[in-house]
Amino acid sequence: MLVASALTERSPAGLAGEISRLVREGALAPGDRLPTVREVSAALGVSAGTVAAAWRALAGAGIIVSRGRAGSFVRAEGGGSSRVHGMSGPGPEASVRLDLSLGTPDPALLPSLEAALTRVRPRADTGRYHDLPVLPELGELLRETWPTSGVEAITVVDGALDGIARTLEQTVRFGDRVGVESPGFPYVFDLLDALGAEVVALSSDRDGVLPGSLARALDRGVVAVVLQPRAHNPTGASMPTERARHLARVVIEAPRGGDVLIIEDDHSALIASAPDVSLARWIPGQVVHVRGFSKSHGPDLRIAALGGPARVVERIVERRMLGPGWTSRLLQTVLAHLLTEPGAIARVRTARLVYRDRLDRVAGALGRLGFDVGEPDGINLWLPVIDERAAILGLAAEGIAVAAGSPFVVGGSGSGSGLGPGSGLGPGSGLVSGPGFGGAVRVTAGAVVENARLVAESLARAASAPPLP
């Protein structure tokens, strides 16, 4: 373990370079814990801000990762975190007849791109580099269908996660606290790790984040909160208007609530059955809403819309000019066509109804077997299990793959079995059928095309499986 007194550099750049060299030379190994900001500050006689800036630079370069109160660590080699590896589906060598682990839309339900592609110019004529980042016709469509009227600014980004990442980068600094749902989306947890933020877990029930949990997070000084208002991944829960109103009131009434940014991840917007909902209806100057089109129109389009206060959106647009510049206007043309062409609109509407039917069938069959999973929306549902590992292996023996639940939980790993502290979806939450359930799995029930009852019976057996010896 590195001792703070062994360091010599005193500037942010110099200190970051010194740590980087130690990692490159092997003196610091993957997983090694770094001294705390306070320890380094005291040893070198520099401000905590100087050390924090160095740690932030290292995190941004992918050299270290922050784990909140546990400290900062040299990042392990290899792509992705243990969370991401833990949620991934089976490898190509696995014998799987039904893969319910992916969390991706059914390709058969996506609209055809053939007609849309004929609308694209033969040449990639992008015009000037500083042209508006959003095609005017697409921007108009987005404003007409945005969940709140009068949104100050809208731009287009390369997928919902890209929009969330860019918003967090403009809002969160090293050491800041950010509220996230637990269970929630593992990639958001990883983004916050990379930014050196401290994650504050928000408890939920079948209507979304609990107001009391949000109030406690605000008392702890969070600078941002990331929410999924509809078709929550992994639980499938959708937030009713009254819950959104209550959460907005909690923000308004908090002593420093006016300084908090709410980031809404509406990743399944057009295939969710629940109506649009956004806290921006009550606190428009504090909400960035991200609307994804991957689930409805195709993951490989890599396109999403982002709207909110101009002070935030304009910073994101300016920062993108130092990287990709804009989202391909060719893809924007394709999306604009898909959002207006009657056949594509009908296709997406049909997909929404089919997913609704598939989830209802699986959830209903599980309910008749004694497993209350609520009324999931979108494509996923969250199934409490006695033991995560036993459930996954039991299903694998039947040729069914599901995603491990622990990566979706704050404090979870890629291989644990418990829901973890603060998940809010343990016994008594309204999403667990009874006591004794120590973990969960995510099931992409939207991929269950047939035999819903038989699939539910397999899931019920796995959920009831005792821990393996």
pLDDT digits 0-9 by tens, 414-465: 433 233 333 334 333 444 333 345 699 999 999 999 999 999 999 999 999 9
pLDDT digits 0-9 by tens, 369-401: 999 999 999 999 999 999 998 999 999 999 999
| Judgement on whether residues 56 and 103 belong to the same structural domain of the protein | no
Q: CA dist 433 to 206, 342, 425, 426, 463, Å?
A: 13, 42, 11, 10, 11
Among residues 302, 318, 340, which one ends one of the domains? 340
| Judgement on whether residues 260 and 331 belong to the same structural domain of the protein | yes
Asked which of 255-259, 323-327, 354-358 is least confident by mean pLDDT, the reply is 323-327
> What is the three-class DSSP state of 131?
coil
In this prediction, residues 156-163 reach a mean pLDDT of 95
Indicate whether 57 belongs to any domain: yes
| Judgement on whether residues 177 and 298 belong to the same structural domain of the protein | yes
Indicate whether 323 belongs to any domain: yes
Indicate whether 183 belongs to any domain: yes
Block residue for tokens 């704050």? 410
In this prediction, residues 130-135 reach a mean pLDDT of 78
In this prediction, residues 65-85 reach a mean pLDDT of 70
Query: Which structural domain, as residue segments, surrounds residue 310?
Result: 134-340
Q: pLDDT value at position 431? A: 43
More confident residue, 77 or 430: 77
- Helical H runs in 118-173? 136-145, 160-171
| Judgement on whether residues 454 and 356 belong to the same structural domain of the protein | yes
- Give CA angle at 439 (433, 440), nearest 5°: 70
Within 10 angstroms of residue 412's Cβ, the number of other Cβ atoms is 28
SS3 labels along 423-464: CCCCCCCCCCCCCCCCEEEEECHHHCCCCHHHHHHHHHHHHH
Rounded to an integer, what distance in angstroms lies between the CA atom of residue 181 and that of residue 429? 14
| Judgement on whether residues 253 and 138 belong to the same structural domain of the protein | yes
Query: Which helix (H) or strand (E) element contains residue 128?
Result: none
Number of domains in the chain: 3
| Listed residue (142, 148, 169) closest to 305, CA to CA | 142
Q: CA dist 275 to 163, 199, 270, Å?
A: 22, 29, 10
Tell me what percent of the chain is helix, strand and coil, each rounded to the nearest 5.
45, 15, 45
| Judgement on whether residues 226 and 336 belong to the same structural domain of the protein | yes
Among residues 324, 340, 356, which one ends one of the domains? 340
CATH number (domain holding residue 281): 3.40.640.10
332 and 120 in contact (C-beta within 8 Å)? no
pLDDT digits 0-9 by tens, 6-65: 999 999 888 988 998 898 888 899 889 999 999 999 999 999 989 988 888 887 677 888
In this prediction, residues 243-265 reach a mean pLDDT of 97
| Judgement on whether residues 374 and 244 belong to the same structural domain of the protein | no
| Judgement on whether residues 245 and 327 belong to the same structural domain of the protein | yes
Q: pLDDT value at position 127? A: 57
| Judgement on whether residues 262 and 152 belong to the same structural domain of the protein | yes
Q: pLDDT value at position 430? A: 40
Block residue for tokens 């490898």? 91
Indicate whether 125 belongs to any domain: no
In this prediction, residues 247-263 reach a mean pLDDT of 97
pLDDT digits 0-9 by tens, 81-107: 556 655 655 554 457 899 999 999 999
Question: Per-residue confidence at 173, pLDDT binned at 50, 70, 90?
Answer: confident
Mean per-residue pLDDT of the chain: 87
Helices and strands (H, E) in the chain, number of each type:
16, 15
Q: pLDDT value at position 334? A: 92
Buried b (16+ CB within 10 A) or exposed e, 296-333: bbbeebbbbbbbbbeebbeebbeebeeeeebbbbebbb
| Judgement on whether residues 99 and 209 belong to the same structural domain of the protein | no
| Judgement on whether residues 279 and 355 belong to the same structural domain of the protein | no
Q: CA dist 188 to 150, 165, 179, Å?
A: 28, 8, 11
286 and 260 in contact (C-beta within 8 Å)? yes
